[in-house]
Amino acid sequence: MMTITIRLQSVLYDNDKAAIRKAVLSMSNAADCYRAKGHSLECILSYGDASDSPLYSDKEILDLKAECPGLTDIRYTFFHENTGTARGHNLLAADCSADYILLMNPDIILCPDFFEEILRPFTAPSCGAAEGRQVPVEHPKDYDRHSFETAWTSGACTFIRTDVFRKVGGYDDKNFYMYCDDVDLSLRVRLAGFKLIYCPRAMVLHSKTPGPNGMSVPSSVEKYGSSLANLILSVKYAHPEKTKHFLELYSASPDPELRKAAEDFLKMKEEGRLPQPIDPEHAVSVYCGDSYAVHRFIL
């Protein structure tokens, strides 16, 4: 029987330990459920901590290992710097020899059948990466109802072949710190000739606290980071009309975080620090309004 090897990895930053424990327990349970169906699986969980001070002691990691026997190992690295998600994941994946990498948020809870469902598309060699279904709020981007092919996969739960991750050079941590790094990685996987598959039965709990109108309320860090990354993405994928649109929108915004993003983008442009366009023919990059892909519904 062939053993499937998977590296599960997350970048931590001042996370709630109780939430992380729940997530790790779900990973261990999902691994055991997969083995119970007759499969051979090796699962190594790797955490990179970008916090100001270590979240975990060696003893706490050992205790977590003992509590989660379904995981082959749990590894913890304190980065001594705030790497952001893109560089943090690249550092964690540098020594990865597993068949697959699960790039995920620290608070993601895996359903018991996660591994069985997320691995299904990879029977086709054309599948480069797959994405689990986020509940209770599913991601709104569209997907093909027959092939389940989608435009990009969310970094909250992207399951990718390790050889594909290496082939495209991992995350672009030079240009993306935390936001839009997943969109960029997805588009480069597609440029390399691979497909991205949405797996609605590979469910993961990704809880977000809604605001008074039922929508998620972004933090000031999210507002600034996502706006700056949005501008950079439009440059990298050769959409000057979108760059102009976003720049005007953010510059005139009453929101100080958006105005700061526009100011910093212009400074990057002046200093020659913006990326060169890599998809001038728009083979993989298509905007629908202000979104990176067609959406099925509006959040």
Residue 214: pLDDT above 60? no
Each residue's pLDDT tens digit, 103-144: 999 999 999 999 999 999 999 999 999 999 999 888 889 999
Distance, in Å, from the CA atom of 92 to the CA atom of 69, rounded to the nearest integer, reads: 22
Helix (H, G, I), strand (E, B) or coil at 118: helix
How many CA atoms, within 13 angstroms, populate the side-chain half-sphere of residue 189? 31
- pLDDT for 209 equals 61
Pairing of strands 109-110, 157-161: unpaired
- pLDDT for 212 equals 63
- pLDDT for 207 equals 73
Distance, in Å, from the CA atom of 195 to the CA atom of 189, rounded to the nearest integer, reads: 7
Is-contact 48 81, C-beta < 8 A?
no
Which range (16-25, 80-89, 144-153, 282-291) has the least confidence? 282-291
Distance, in Å, from the CA atom of 151 to the CA atom of 176, rounded to the nearest integer, reads: 19
Q: What angle do CA 185, 262, 278 make, to 5 degrees?
A: 30
Distance, in Å, from the CA atom of 10 to the CA atom of 112, rounded to the nearest integer, reads: 19
User: How sure is the predictor about 211, in pLDDT bands with cuts at 50, 70 and 90?
Assistant: low
Closest listed residue to residue 170, CA positions, set 184, 180, 156: 184
- pLDDT for 98 equals 98
> What percentage of the chain carries pLDDT values higher than 70?
97
- pLDDT for 279 equals 94
The structural domains of the chain, with segments of one domain joined by +, span: 3-205, 217-299
If you search the block for the tokens 């270590």, which residue do you land on? 54
- Residue range 45-56: mean pLDDT, rounded: 98
> What percentage of the chain carries pLDDT values higher than 90?
88
State which CATH number among 3.40.30.10, 3.40.50.1400, 3.90.550.60, 3.20.20.220 fits the domain covering 3-205.
3.90.550.60
| Average pLDDT of the chain to the nearest whole number | 95
Q: CB-based contacts of 90: which residues, under 8 Å, 6+ apart?
A: 170, 171, 173
Q: What is the pTM of this model?
A: 0.95
Q: CB-based contacts of 227: which residues, under 8 Å, 6+ apart?
A: 246, 250, 257, 258, 261, 262
Is-contact 133 198, C-beta < 8 A?
yes
What is 152-214 written as a DSSP string? Answer: ---TTEEEEEHHHHHHTTS--TTT-SSSSHHHHHHHHHHHTT-EEEEEEEEEEE----B-TTS
Backbone phi and psi for residue 133, each to the nearest 5 degrees, phi listed first: -85, 125
